[in-house]
Amino acid sequence: MRGLRSLEALYRTASTSRVLNLFQVYEQNHEEDDYARHPFFQDPTLNRAIFVKHRLRSDETYLMPRSSPVATKIIFPFDKKTLRAGGQSILIGQSGYQQTLIEMLGGEQGDMEEDFRLLGVLARLPSLDPFLLKETLTRHNFSPADCYFAMSTADIERMRSFAGEQIQQLITLAFGGSNNHMGQSIKRMVDAILTKDTESRLDPLRVTLGLDGQQFEDSIFSWKGFLYFKWQFRGSMVKLQSLAGALDRVSLEGAMDRVLDASISNQRIALKKAIQKAARGCVAILGLYDDAFNDLVEHGNAAAFRKFLLEAPRLFIELGHSMGVISHITSFWDYRFPNPNRLHMQASEFHEMLNEFLTSLTETSYDELSRRA
């Protein structure tokens, strides 16, 4: 898929949750003092690489010691000034990857310990959404410059507002009462729960939920991520519905025989069904949060919400991968069709794109996600 998988395409769609484009960050910010003082990676070549949450093909699974449908790929552009020449890649965690990476970068094992620790953090993340990425790195005591996180301040504030409305209800319950003197305290606690200093300031909430220190710390972090995906899901579903409606309106150009025509027709039908399954799977998991949270704030049932928080890390990982696929599809569609009133594409390229979308959706087991939920 030379066209669809090109580095130029990754460059233009760097905001997707599946791509962290440090090459683009360098191009846009390398003259800034903050960029120089607070790099993402210490190694300068690694700090210009492109990271992709990559769905493994059948001929790639042998590279990884553990069975996983998704791995984190590092791509090093051949030309430091342009992406047109392509690049060299390696998967984080593949057999012997550390030694191979050291040889590629010309470094020493001891000099790269912190970079390898950070690579391990990236590999464990279910997606590369800027909010979750920033929160995770802060949690692991990494502090890259703000320019590395693509989400705008406005987007973060919108997410904070969404989460804050629900967090405020829970904090009111935990700290008791809702009188006028609680206003500023609640505001501070809402801010605390979305920052790295959450746990030290929320002991009454920990007691209310009956969680010990480490469980509470892990659960609150997962809860923040879960709230983020819930917020993100609203926008993604609007885009997916629009995409499903636009599938039949794409005008195909170039040579197309009867076989290709029939195949594309079948793909359109299959993709619409896959999108519906994607939505159902995500809704099933998000519904767990709604049920548990509503039971807590309406009936004071802390046990149900405590159970949710303890299971949240597993759900966070599954939902993260699912939302990553959805974000990848909607982002690429927006990139390929920036004007919704001008839907034109070569038939062969359209066929290839739909096949990629279907593969991504069907390899994410939404049915299994629903059953587990």
Split at pLDDT 50, 70, 90, the class of 264 is very high
Which residue has better confidence, 291 or 155?
A: 291
DSSP state of 365: -
Split at pLDDT 50, 70, 90, the class of 72 is very high
User: Which residue has 């990139």 as its token pair?
Assistant: 335
pLDDT of 90 reads 93
Split at pLDDT 50, 70, 90, the class of 252 is very high
Which residue has better confidence, 285 or 110?
A: 285
93: left (phi over 0), alpha (psi -120 to 50) or beta: left
Split at pLDDT 50, 70, 90, the class of 211 is confident
The answer, yes or no, to whether residue 347 has pLDDT greater than 80, is: yes
The Cα-based distances of 83 to 30, 49, 315 in angstroms read 17, 11, 36
Which residue has better confidence, 107 or 264?
A: 264
Split at pLDDT 50, 70, 90, the class of 251 is very high
Backbone angles phi, psi at 177, to 5 degrees: 75, 170
pLDDT of 135 reads 75
For range 130-149, the mean pLDDT: 86
Tens of pLDDT, residue by residue over 6-38, are: 666 555 544 457 789 898 889 889 999 999 999
Tens of pLDDT, residue by residue over 225-238, are: 788 888 888 888 88
C-alpha atoms less than 13 angstroms from C-alpha of 306 in its C-beta half-sphere: 14
Whole-number mean pLDDT of the chain?
Answer: 80
Tens of pLDDT, residue by residue over 301-345, are: 888 888 888 777 667 666 777 787 788 788 789 888 989 999 999
Percent of the chain with pLDDT over 90: 28
The answer, yes or no, to whether residue 272 has pLDDT greater than 70, is: yes
3-class DSSP assignment, residue 93: coil
Cβ–Cβ < 8 Å for 373, 27: no
Split at pLDDT 50, 70, 90, the class of 369 is very low
Which residue has better confidence, 196 or 109?
A: 109
**Beta bridge partners of residue 74, listed in sequence order:** 51, 90
The answer, yes or no, to whether residue 274 has pLDDT greater than 80, is: yes
**Max mean pLDDT range (28-42, 166-180, 303-317, 359-373):** 28-42
Please give the model's pTM, rounded to 2 decimal places. 0.65
pLDDT of 54 reads 81
The Cα-based distances of 239 to 7, 123, 131, 281, 337 in angstroms read 24, 27, 20, 17, 12
- The domain segmentation of the chain, as residue ranges, is 7-151, 210-372
pLDDT of 278 reads 84
Residues 43, 48, 49, 52: what is their CA dihedral angle, to the nearest 10 degrees?
Answer: 120
**Beta bridge partners of residue 70, listed in sequence order:** 55
pLDDT of 371 reads 45
pLDDT of 14 reads 44
